Structure 1
Amino acid sequence: MTHDTATGLSATLQHMRAAWQANKPGYAQRRADLKALRAAVKAQLPQMVAAINTDFGQRSAAESRIAEGMTVLSAIDHLLAHLRDWMRPTPVGAGWRLLPARAELRAVPLGVVGVISPWNYPVNLALIPLATAIAAGNHVLLKPSEHTPATSAWLAQLLAGVFPAERVSVVQGGAEVAAAFSALPLDHLVFTGSTAVGRKVMAAAAQHLTPLTLELGGKSPAIVCADYPIEKAAARLATGKWFNAGQTCIAPDYVLVEGGQQRVAALAHALGVQVRQRYGDDLAASADYTRIINDGQYQRLMAHVADARARGLDVRQLAEVPDNAAAQRLLAPTLILQPDAQATVMGEEIFGPLLPILAVDSLDAAIAHINAAERPLALYPFSHDRRAVERLLHDTVAGGITVNDCLLHFAAEGLPFGGVGASGMGAYHGRAGFDAMSKALPVLWQPRITATDWLKPPYRPLQRLLDLLVR
């Protein structure tokens, strides 16, 4: 079911909640739904890749298959493998004072979960929370991004072929619709996007005290410690940064290099080698290099480059681009060395193929730099020295960490994915998502005969029992 305006959202939600209340999905229904969704995604991978490519102008087909197809299929497989166990009531201790009572926790569904998904990974970040909500027994109202209209249309037809409209409904529209969506009295809302928009979503949701999972962003640092080989760091940073042309919420946003300017220069050179090896001498001809999503994002990124050059910073474009690069929204991998704190590229999440690199004198200086900013969504320590890594883990706070690589903690199904502070709140993926979209219902079972049958006024004859209870 698709809506083109904000009109009717409230009625749609009421209809979906009434349908959920009348027929809450049990284990068999949830499992069937997940298997049907998996089969539909698998069958339509070529159409998915084509739709995303249309929206980006050019999106690496391999990256779409990995970041959108593989991740969604893997997440559904994980949900299917664990669903029965997660749904099973968990016994908990009631305590000796309540004997012979027994206690348990039950994961019960919430109702209708809303999902507002972004444009950068328009399938992954729509379908993983949607599948998780389905696994938890909820119905889902999905608002995909207006900046990826072809993919949003593909999602709408995909889901309409799998679910009845009262179980999953897709809402399409721009900022006005998104604002109205955020203000609905949903039973849970998952939002993925910028910190600035996340604040607006949280304010709108506060009207109804709607529980939130906010997956935001921020400036995620990488730290290359003095012991770590520069060439290996460059190879792994290149993947983390230029996958999807840097349009990734957990892409390394800047790199702190321990060991002085010589190691910064070596890293810059090694990153240039990586670009040539990956994309060849003609970046525009490479099928594996993704374009910037739209003109607004392209101009925003070019403004960062212009600001850096105006400040006299060392800006190194690592590949040549044709004269019509702007028309293609083709932005080459670009390094900005030793930017000052006032450079605009250091003031906001980059979300593109620009990579600032700064030298730091010590691990202490790197930690101080990280802690002076808002808490990041991701952190990437590069070191073979376990003590150095443990110091970074102990002395900083981030949403998630991959040691000696980038991005991969997102793909670990058993790890919760989420931010902290300005980079988000709550988490999903695997059990964490199932729990977030369920109510952990505490249940105390009282037997036929219980102490409370006697624990009542007058209390004087029970003094010794009371002394025992409060000892």
Structure 2
Amino acid sequence: MALDTASPNDMNAILAKQKAAHLRDGIPSAEQRVEWLDRAIDLLVTHRTALSEAMNADFGHRSIDQSDFTDIAGSIGALKFAKKNLKKWMKPEKRSAEFPLNLFGAKARIHHQPKGVIGVISPWNFPVNLTFTPLAGVFAAGNRAMIKPSEFTEQTSELMKKLFADYYSEEEVAVVTGGPDVGAAFSGLAFDHIIFTGATSIAHHVMRAAADNLVPLTLELGGKSPVILGESADLDKAAKRIMAGKTLNAGQICLAPDYAFVPKDKTKDFVRAATSAVETMFPSGLKDNNDYTSVVNQRHFDRLQSYLEDAKSKGAEIVEINPKDEHFDQQPHHKIPPTIIVDPTDDMKVMQDEIFGPILPIKSYTSTQDAVGYVNAHARPLGLYYFGEDASERDYVLNNTTSGGVTVNDVLFHVAQEDLPFGGVGPSGMGSYHGVDGFREFSHRKSVYTQVGADLLAMVRPPYGEKYRKQVQGRIKK
């Protein structure tokens, strides 16, 4: 099935229509915003099976149970949270007026005003969740949306295009599909805000294109999210949780644990515990297991294989976790068994690129300071994970590293908290969304000051006199 691509003229016409509707209809009421959210929830509930089957087809194989949890239920949770709280979020935020005017009735407020039309560029790894979760904040803030989903998940993108057209008018939500050329043109449209989720390398192009119209951006990127296992960590429990995060969606997650620091004397024990964790999750094997997802396409399969070949050629110890000793060179999809690379060197590709697959390098370390120093010597990651019960060590790691977010004693879970902002820092992104932070991200926070009725400020207007100078002098002091 070929994507029905949109032309730049088509996209500009849709954007103009949405902007005109935004001006014509004015700021949407809370009831209108709830209706938009309810339609999205209904779309997901009604068409969950079709969406999960489309994702399965796009990946070659993707666990239906996983899709139901991560993409369908996860999206509904975000939409319901916004629906529950948006009236509270919409209320003007009180601020303090300057003394002494506040004593005479001056008021300072922040009004949250819809920005207008939000461009949503969503990726292939969670194609439904990373389209609908941003929409929770977009709709709650009273905006309209144009969506450009990934061409890698073609069937899912085409299905979403059809479903959005069934549930929303083109003035409210529109989906445009196509490849890199469409994505480039989409990034250059004069939106009121763009949220892009994807690779850091592509974000450079999105940001340059948005700059022509000075469009503000939220960039949710990725990077090499590290794990630090402290000496006090429960090794078996940590291995179970790390490998669950590394095998979910076959590691194709922007927040997947990318590499792990393990105490030097526990390296072999961690490998055994990780192997046991995978065997427990996939007792019947991996190749034909419906719970284990495929790498999305040949290009990414080849990329991941090249990491393993490069590491092997440079002398790395590679541990393939393959409980049933299956042959993955004969399969209908692109599955790769979870693989651990023990003590890789920094010249290996697997330590230079974001892995985005079920490969986990582990690095032995002797001191927490060394592990923290290594993290700080590299680009700031989207996530960081600490395992352990030593509060002083935990605080040292958290206080001396900078990452988009942190989960302690697990991986990934900070992104599942709707009341926490989600976003990166530096190369892993800018801006944040989820919950109230998404509402604020997609709102213009307009300052509104109401002056007192009495003309108390007459003395600050010319002609300046002694009373004025005394007042100013009173403010110029330590």
Q: Under a length normalisation based on structure 1, what TM-score does the superposition of the two structures give?
A: 0.96
Aligned to 2:283: 280
Aligned to 1:139: 144
Amino acid aligned to 1:317: E
Aligned to 1:332: 337
Amino acid aligned to 2:33: R
Aligned to 1:430: 435
318-327 or 42-51, which deviates more: 318-327
Taking the aligned partners of 1:91 and 1:450, their CA distance within structure 2 comes to: 23
Q: Percent identity?
A: 38
Aligned to 1:45: 48
Is 2:223 the counterpart of 1:218?
yes
Aligned length: 468
- Structure 1 residue 428: Cα displacement: 0.6
Aligned to 1:54: 57
Aligned to 1:175: 180
CA contact (8 A) 1:5 1:172 kept: no
Taking the aligned partners of 2:309 and 2:81, their CA distance within structure 1 comes to: 45
300-309 or 155-164, which deviates more: 155-164
Taking the aligned partners of 2:340 and 2:439, their CA distance within structure 1 comes to: 40
Structure 1 residues 88-107: aligned runs within 5 Å: 88-99=91-102, 100=104, 101-107=106-112
Taking the aligned partners of 2:238 and 2:365, their CA distance within structure 1 comes to: 16
Cα RMSD after superposing both structures = 1.5
Taking the aligned partners of 1:364 and 1:149, their CA distance within structure 2 comes to: 46
CA contact (8 A) 2:14 2:170 kept: no
- Structure 1 residue 451: Cα displacement: 1.2
CA contact (8 A) 1:321 1:332 kept: no
Equivalent residue in structure 2 for 1:159, among 161, 164, 169: 164
**C-alpha offsets along residues 191-246 of structure 1, whole Å, 9 cap, x if unaligned?**
00011001111111111111000000100000111111211111010111110000
Taking the aligned partners of 1:240 and 1:310, their CA distance within structure 2 comes to: 28
Gaps of 5+ in 2: none
CA contact (8 A) 1:5 1:173 kept: no
CA contact (8 A) 1:248 1:351 kept: yes
Is 2:289 the counterpart of 1:289?
no
Structure 1 residues 14-93: aligned runs within 5 Å: 14-24=16-26, 25-93=28-96
Q: Secondary structure at the match of 1:208?
A: coil
Taking the aligned partners of 1:207 and 1:387, their CA distance within structure 2 comes to: 47
Taking the aligned partners of 2:32 and 2:342, their CA distance within structure 1 comes to: 55
- Structure 1 residue 446: Cα displacement: 1.7
Is 2:364 the counterpart of 1:362?
no
Aligned to 2:153: 148
**C-alpha offsets along residues 61-102 of structure 1, whole Å, 9 cap, x if unaligned?**
111111111211110111011100111111111111434311
Amino acid aligned to 1:186: F
Aligned to 2:267: 264
Taking the aligned partners of 1:308 and 1:434, their CA distance within structure 2 comes to: 44
Is 2:402 the counterpart of 1:397?
yes
**C-alpha offsets along residues 441-468 of structure 1, whole Å, 9 cap, x if unaligned?**
0001123323124542222253444445
Taking the aligned partners of 1:202 and 1:323, their CA distance within structure 2 comes to: 40
CA contact (8 A) 1:97 1:469 kept: no
Q: Under a length normalisation based on structure 2, what TM-score does the superposition of the two structures give?
A: 0.95
Gaps of 5+ in 1: none
Equivalent residue in structure 1 for 2:201, among 191, 196, 199: 196
CA contact (8 A) 1:284 1:330 kept: yes
Structure 1 residues 446-457: aligned runs within 5 Å: 446-457=451-462
Q: 1:219 to 1:325 in 2, by over 3 A?
A: farther
Q: 1:19 to 1:3 in 2, by over 3 A?
A: farther
Is 2:237 the counterpart of 1:235?
no
